[in-house]
Amino acid sequence: MDGGAHPGGRIGPNAITQMAAALDAALPADAVDALFAEAGLAAYRRAPPARMVEEREVAVLHHVLRRRLDPALLAAAAREAGLRTGDYLLANRIPRPVQWLLRVLPAPLAARLLLSAIRRHAWTFAGSGAFAARPGHPVRLSIAGCPLCRGAVLDRPGCGYFAATFERLFAGLVHRRARVTEVACAAAGAAACVFEVRYTTWLTSIMLDTGSST
Ligand SMILES: [Zn+2]
């Protein structure tokens, strides 16, 4: 279990604020207050963080949510929080001309450009974890030392928040039918959390059949 402070072990406040918003949409406010209090984050209910937060705080919040919430409710809230985070990034962090360019490019090329942008900003969501990405079909993104599930032991992948964030970005910018699945999770014994993006259409199928054997 990781309890110490890392250099660079901070991530963007969306991991807290969008989860709070998703929980508030599903539960009474006092129940959400109690969950944040149990995680030692009551102050964030009074004043939501506007800057980078300690990744340890995010890990503890997820730990409390896994302990207290029904797994289906938690999965739905994590997905909602991830989609909201994707919406925030589209509205505030990705310049309009870049979004326009990605939307008009063929999906495989747009995916490459989006991956390089995500890679440049990986420190804002992976913290001290190590992000890697590989274009192709499916696109694969991975986070070793993922701050969401650190210290957890699960029988299925538990980082749906990241899967949903990636899905909103790929669906908004690369292909509207993009779907993201966490196919391996450190909490379930894998070396890293791995996310696969699929957006196959008749056109990408033809291009991939001729351009890739994997
Ligand atoms: Zn995971």
Q: Please compute the mean of the pLDDT values over residues 206-212 and round it to a whole number.
A: 60
Question: Ligand 1 center to residue 143 CA distance, Å?
Answer: 8
- Residue of 69 and 201 predicted with greater confidence: 69
Residue 66, domain CATH: 3.90.1520.10
Contact 3, 153 (CB under 8 A): no
Bridge partners (DSSP) of residue 144 are 130
Confidence of residue 205 (pLDDT cuts 50, 70, 90): low
Q: How far is the CA of 211 from the centre of ligand 1 (A)?
A: 30
Question: Is position 5 within any domain?
Answer: no
**Residue 162 in domain:** yes
- Which residues place a Cβ less than 5 A from the ion ligand 1? 149, 159, 185, 193
Give pLDDT, residue 36.
98
Task: Specify if 4 maps to a domain.
Answer: no
Task: Check the CA dihedral 22-56-88-169 and report its sign.
Answer: negative
Centre of ligand 1 from the C-alpha of residue 157, in Å:
5
In this prediction, residue 4 carries a pLDDT of 41
Asked whether residue 96 is domain-assigned, the answer is yes
How many A from CA of 95 to the centre of ligand 1? Answer: 29
* Ligand 1: centre distance to CA 63 (Å): 13
Instruction: Determine the distance separating the centroid of ligand 1 and the alpha carbon of 116, expressed in angstroms.
Output: 21
Residue 199 pLDDT: 82
Identify the top-confidence range among 66-70, 150-154, 209-213: 66-70
Q: Is 184 exposed, middle or buried (0-12, 13-18, 19+ CB in 10 A)?
A: middle
| Ligand 1 center–CA 144 separation, angstroms | 9
Return d(Cα 1, Cα 59) in angstroms, integer: 10
The string of pLDDT tens digits covering residues 113-131 is 999 999 999 999 999 999 9
- CA 158 – ligand 1 centroid, Å: 5
Residue 85's domain comprises 10-211
Within its chain, how far is the Cα of 28 from the centroid?
Answer: 25
Residues 6+ apart with CB under 8 A from 28: none
Give distance in angstroms: CA of 184 to centre of ligand 1.
Answer: 7
Domain for residue 3, yes or no? no
Q: Is residue 1 domain-resident?
A: no
Round the average pLDDT of the chain to a whole number and report it: 91
Q: How many domains does the chain have?
A: 1
- The predicted-structure confidence for 159-197, as pLDDT tens digits, reads as follows 999 999 999 999 999 999 999 999 999 999 999 999 999
> For residue 195, how far is its CA from the centre of ligand 1 (angstroms)?
9
Which parts of the chain are beta strand (E)? 10-11, 53-54, 130-134, 139-144, 179-184, 193-198
CA of 122 to the centre of ligand 1 (A): 15
Q: Confirm whether 36 is domain-assigned.
A: yes
The percent of residues above 90 in pLDDT, for the chain, comes to: 86
In a domain, 64, yes or no: yes
